[in-house]
Amino acid sequence: MFAASVKNCFKSIENLMIKITKPLLQKALIAGFFSAFTIGVLTVLTYKSTLGYFLAGSFGSSMVLLFGFPESPFAQPKNVFFGHLLTALVGVIFVNYIPLPIYINIALAVGVGIFLMILLNVVHPPAGGNPIIVIIGSVSYDYLISPIIFGCIIILLLAILINKFILKKNYPLK
C-alpha cells in the first residue's frame, strides 16, 4: 500500500514537470536576453548618466510580457504606458493627499489603480505594483516624469524595435 502511494506520488510529480523542448528553451533564452538588455539600458542611463532615473521596480515584471508574451493584450504599448502612468499617479495622489495609515493607503491605492486600469481598458498587470512602490518611497509628482514616462518610452521603443525588426513578431498588435 505504502509503495503504491509513493509510486503514485512520483507519477504526479512527473506529470507536473515541464518537458523542456527546443522551442520553449529558445523562447525563454530570447526573452531573458532581451529583458536583461532592456533593463541594462535603463540601469546605465540611471547610474552612469546625469539624465535622471529611468528604473522602476515594476518594469522588471513588464519585461515578462514584452519579451515573453508580446502578443498579449496586456503587453501592448497603450497598456504598458498608461497602465504604469495611471497606477503611479494613483500612488502619488494617495501618498500626498490621503492622510491615512500607510497600510490602508497602500491597499486602497492598489485597488483604485486596478479599478481604473480595468475601467479605462489599459490593464498592464505589472503596473499594479506601482502604488506600493510610490507610497513606500513617498515620491512626488516628479516620479511620473522620471522614471515612469521616460522609462516607459524607452522600454516601448526597445520592445517595438526588438520584437518587430529583430524577432520579426507582429508587435504591436493592430
Tell me: pLDDT of 90 over 70: yes
Tell me: pLDDT of 135 over 80: yes
Structural domain includes residue 90: yes
Model confidence pLDDT, tens digit, residues 35-82: 999 999 999 999 999 999 999 999 999 999 999 999 999 999 999 999
| Residue 17 banded pLDDT, cuts 50, 70, 90 | confident
Structural domain includes residue 8: no
pLDDT of residue 5: 66
Structural domain includes residue 172: no
Tell me: pLDDT of 31 over 70: yes
* Cβ contacts of 153 within 8 Å, gap of 6 or more: 81
- Least confident segment among 9-18, 54-63, 111-120: 9-18
| Residue 3 banded pLDDT, cuts 50, 70, 90 | low
Residue 110's domain comprises 21-166
| Residue 18 banded pLDDT, cuts 50, 70, 90 | confident
Structural domain includes residue 171: no
Structural domain includes residue 84: yes
Structural domain includes residue 128: yes
Structural domain includes residue 2: no
| Residue 164 banded pLDDT, cuts 50, 70, 90 | very high
Report how many domains make up the chain.
Answer: 1
Tell me: pLDDT of 117 over 70: yes
3-state per-residue secondary structure call for the chain:
CHHHHHHHHHHHHHHHCCCCCHHHHHHHHHHHHHHHHHHHHHHHHHHCCCCCCCCCHHHHHHHHHHHHCCCCHHHCHHHHHHHHHHHHHHHHHHHHHCCCCHHHHHHHHHHHHHHHHHHCCCCCHHHHHHHHHHHHHCCCCHHHHHHHHHHHHHHHHHHHHHHHHHCCCCCCCC
Percent of the chain clearing pLDDT 70 (strictly above): 91
pLDDT of residue 14: 66
Tell me: pLDDT of 10 over 80: no
Q: What is the mean pLDDT of the chain?
A: 94
Structural domain includes residue 10: no
Tell me: pLDDT of 2 over 80: no
